[in-house]
């Protein structure tokens, strides 16, 4: 099987109906992320960065347009199909880790494996492996409240990769962390990208993220340039139409 994890957002429109008003978050938005990229998605708050991640992960559906992941169109899948697809294809890391306080690090990491046909022993092994990848093996038996913020985020990353998805979607994963810890997490993500070939899309406000990512997209300017290009293309078309119209006269 070819390792195709390309993410394509095609002519996306995402809007919300608020009474009589329509709030347009994205209009005719296009983006392609290639397999093996580590993209840092930056930009001011409220611009729709989380929305894009949710669309890529099938947590949210576009109002219009198409979402393709690894050659499969996912925006028209049923909830059931999405749930199942997500479990094996996507790992999520959030700003707040949402680890379950009643489970140990090991237990939290094993949780997504409850969705797989793996048996108890295999689940344990997979979780141990994931914890090892994020250098948290010694803390496997610790509960979230016994861990530091950085350690919790590591466990959350282990949980995201434990079912071996090829794509990681991270929403401000270092937002709550101090500089040093944030660097460690960024380095960890970069390692997962370069050594394991994970395709990573990370929403961040952290300017240092550029040092780790393979591509930085500043959403604000990206949208501006996209709109400009579209307007030009539109203009060209109209001009051509005029020319052809003129020649007919």
Partner 1 sequence: MSQSLGLIEQLYINIKQAQALTVINFKSFPQRIAASLVSIISIGCVAAVILSVLAMTEGMMKTLHQSGLDNTILVMRAGAVSELQSVMFPVEMNILANNEKVIRDEQGQAQVSAEMFVNAEVNFNDASGEQVSKSLALRGISATTTLFRPNFKLVSGKLFNTGVRELLIGQAIARRMPELIVDRIITLGGAQWKISGIFSDENSVFESELWADIGMVQSDYQRGNTIQSIRLALNDSNDLAALEKEWQDDPRLNIRIITEKQFFADQAESLTRLIRWLGFPVALVMALGAMVAALNTMYAAIASRSKEIATHKAIGFTPFAISVSIVCEAVLIALVGGALGILPLYLVFDGWTAATQNASSLSQIMFNFDINAILIAKSMALALLIGLLGGLLPAFKAMKLPVTQALRD
Pairwise CA distance, residues 106 & 108, whole Å: 6
The two most distant CA atoms of the chain are separated, in Å, by 81
DSSP-derived secondary structure for 32-60? EE-TT-EEEEE--TTSSHHHHHHHHTTSS
Q: Which of 31, 41, 42, 92 is close enough to bind partner 1 by CB under 8 A? A: 92
In the block, tokens 């689940």 appear at 123
Residues in contact with ligand ADP, total (CB under 6 A)? 11
Residue 102: name its binding partner from partner 1, Mg ion, ligand ADP, none (Cβ under 5 to 8 Å by kind).
Answer: partner 1
Q: Which of 12, 33, 39, 48 is close enough to bind ligand ADP by CB under 6 A? A: 48
* Contact letters for Mg ion, residues 36-55 (x by CB under 5 A): --------------x-----
Residue 129: name its binding partner from ligand ADP, partner 1, Mg ion, none (Cβ under 5 to 8 Å by kind).
Answer: none
Percent helix, strand, coil in the chain (nearest 5)?
A: 45, 20, 30
Tokens of 17: 């109906």
SS3 label, residue 66? strand
Does the protein bind partner 1 through residue 98 (CB under 8 A)?
yes
Q: Which of 3, 4, 11, 16 is close enough to bind ligand ADP by CB under 6 A? A: 16
Q: Give the nearest distance from C-beta 200 to ligand ADP in angstroms.
A: 17
Tokens of 46: 């409220």
Does the protein bind partner 1 through residue 23 (CB under 8 A)?
no
Residues at the contact surface with ligand ADP, assessed by CB under 6 A: 16, 18, 23, 25, 45-51
Residues at the contact surface with Mg ion, assessed by CB under 5 A: 50
């Amino acid at each position: 099987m070819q390792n195709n994890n390309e993410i394509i957002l095609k002519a996306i429109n995402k809007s919300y109906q608020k009474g009589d008003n329509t709030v347009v978050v994205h209009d005719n938005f296009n983006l392609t992320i290639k397999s093996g990229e580590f993209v840092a998605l930056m930009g001011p708050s409220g611009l729709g960065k989380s929305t894009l991640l949710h669309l890529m992960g099938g947590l949210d559906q576009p109002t219009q347009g198409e979402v393709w992941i690894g050659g499969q169109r996912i925006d028209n899948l049923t909830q059931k199909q999405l749930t199942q697809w997500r479990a094996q294809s996507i790992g999520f890391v959030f700003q707040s880790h949402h680890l379950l306080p009643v489970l140990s690090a090991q237990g939290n990491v094993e949780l997504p494996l409850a969705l797989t046909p793996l048996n108890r022993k295999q689940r344990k092994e997979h979780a141990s492996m994931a914890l090892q990848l994020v250098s948290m093996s010694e803390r496997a038996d610790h509960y979230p409240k016994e861990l530091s913020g950085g350690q919790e985020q590591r466990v959350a990353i282990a949980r995201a990769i434990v079912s071996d998805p090829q794509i990681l979607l991270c929403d401000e994963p270092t937002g709550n962390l101090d500089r040093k810890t944030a660097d460690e997490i960024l380095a960890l993500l970069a390692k997962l990208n370069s050594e394991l070939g994970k395709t990573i899309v990370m929403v961040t406000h952290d300017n240092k993220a550029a040092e780790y990512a393979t591509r930085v997209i500043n959403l604000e300017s990206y949208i501006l340039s996209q709109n400009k290009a579209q307007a030009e293309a539109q203009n060209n078309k109209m001009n051509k139409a005029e020319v052809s119209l003129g020649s007919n006269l």
